[in-house]
Amino acid sequence: MSRRDRLGRLDFVLSPYLYIAPFFIVFAITGLYPLLYTAWVSFHKWHLIGGDQGFNGLDNYVTVLQQPNFWIALRNTFSIFLLSSVPQIMLAILIAYVLDTNLRAKTFWRMGVLLPYVVAPVAVSIIFSKLFADQSGMVNAILGHLGLGPIGWHSSAFWSHIAIANMVNFRWTGYNALIILAAMQAIPRELYEAATVDGAGRLRQFWSVTIPQLRSTIMFVVINSTIGGLQIFDEPRMFDTMGNGGADNQWLTLTMYLYQLGWGPQKSFGRASAVAWILFLIILLFASLSFLLTRRIASSGTEPARDTRRRRRGRARAINRTAAGHTTAGHTTEGALS
């Protein structure tokens, strides 16, 4: 074997590993290692500046769990998460349902509802905290014109959660609507024809055909918003100028609490890491819980057997592909990519 051939052979064998190596190296250093290291730090007394000051077992966890602020932050996180996720997904399905029609200027409407997605959460929060200001806010001024009393958006825990949930919903509803819309367009028409033949009305078709067919997509959206929602930081942090979650911690969330422990006056990386791990476990638990729950809700309708469904979807895609030439721009890209 000549030198050149040997080099070529080496190139052939090693190249694939070289090509995937960057991902694994960077992920190992900045993703995996920190996650495991977090566990290590959480069992130590660890100061932001002083560093490791010795092993102290479960102390950090015990201390954190005894702090009233931890429980307040837990409550706030869940409250904001539920107030944002539930209406957001319902609204997204509704928007997708309306978008899934033979509209004029399809792309305009799709871009219109996606617009908030390109705005930074920090900017969204600044705008909304002005809209929802207690004294000089637009929302309270309008309520005043309607003869209603002002709402204490920054003083009441519940109303602050509503305001913050609004920021989240503003940014993500359109994005989720487009994801759901894509799945809606993949539902084979024959299912609706069959339902019509069976005498099902439009509402009935929506519940018994559309929703069950969207099952995996809704699951994806729910789990995504669970992972993101439980880590919420930007919006509550920017809700007032102090960034401490309100005078009585009305809108202190777990990630804000983590930040306060580590970078606030306590400078305790040990406790911050303990919160990180508790939060990680909660997210795991809730992601699997929402997985099970969504599966149940979404499968309550009638549903074709798994293999037929897959075959049908394949067929629908093939139809899309052939139709791509003479339908909208949106379809062309879909057809080309599927």
Partner 1 sequence: MSRNEPSLAMIEQTAGKRAARAAARRRAKGAHRGFGPDRRPGPVGYVFLIAAVLISAYPLYFAFLLATSNAAEIAKHPVPSLIPRGELVDNITRVLNSGIDLWGAFFNSLIVSGVVSLSVVFFSTLAGYAFSKLRFRGREGLLTFVIATMAVPAQLGVVPLFIVMAKLGWTGELIAVIVPAMVSAFGVFWMTQYIRDALPYELIEAARVDGASMFRTFWSVALPAARPAASMLALFTFVGSWTNFFWPFIVLGAKNPTLPVALQLLQASYFKDYSLIMAGVVVATVPLLILFVLAGRQLVAGIMQGAVKG
Site for partner 1 in 43-82 (CB under 8 A): none
Q: 55 - beta bridge partners? A: 44
Contact string (CB under 8 A) for partner 1, positions 127-146, x = contact: xx-xx-x--xxx-xxx----
Q: Which of 6, 34, 289, 315 binds partner 1 (CB under 8 A)?
A: 34
Q: Which stretch binds partner 1 (CB under 8 A): 53-61, 79-87, 156-164, 228-236?
A: 228-236
Phi and psi, residue 167, nearest 5°: -65, -45
In the block, which residue shows the tokens 């001024």? 141
* 3 state DSSP class of 46: strand
Residues 184-203 that bind partner 1 (CB under 8 A): 184-187, 189-190, 192-193, 196-199, 201-202
Total binding residues toward partner 1, as defined by CB under 8 A? 118
Contact flag: residue 116 with partner 1 (CB under 8 A): yes
Supply the minimum distance, in Å, between the C-beta of residue 176 and partner 1. 9
Instruction: Report the C-alpha gap between 321 and 338 in whole angstroms.
Output: 8
- Judged by CB under 8 A, does residue 112 bind partner 1? yes
The CB-of-212 to partner 1 minimum distance in angstroms stands at 15
Q: Is 301 in the site for partner 1 (CB under 8 A)?
A: no
Nearest approach, Cβ of residue 285 and partner 1 (Å):
13
Quick one: 72 or 316, whose CB is closer to partner 1?
Answer: 316
Choose the binding region for partner 1 from 54-62, 157-165, 233-241, 297-305 (rule: CB under 8 A): 233-241
Q: How far is the CB of 122 from partner 1 (least distance, A)?
A: 4
Of 241, 242, 251, 273, nearest in space to 74 by CA: 251
Please state, as a whole number, how many other Cβ atoms lie within 10 Å of the Cβ of residue 119: 12
3-state helix, strand, coil in the chain (%, to 5): 75, 5, 20
Q: Where are the alpha helices (DSSP H) in 137-253?
A: 138-145, 157-185, 189-197, 202-205, 211-213, 215-230, 234-237
Joined tokens for residue 52: 């490791």
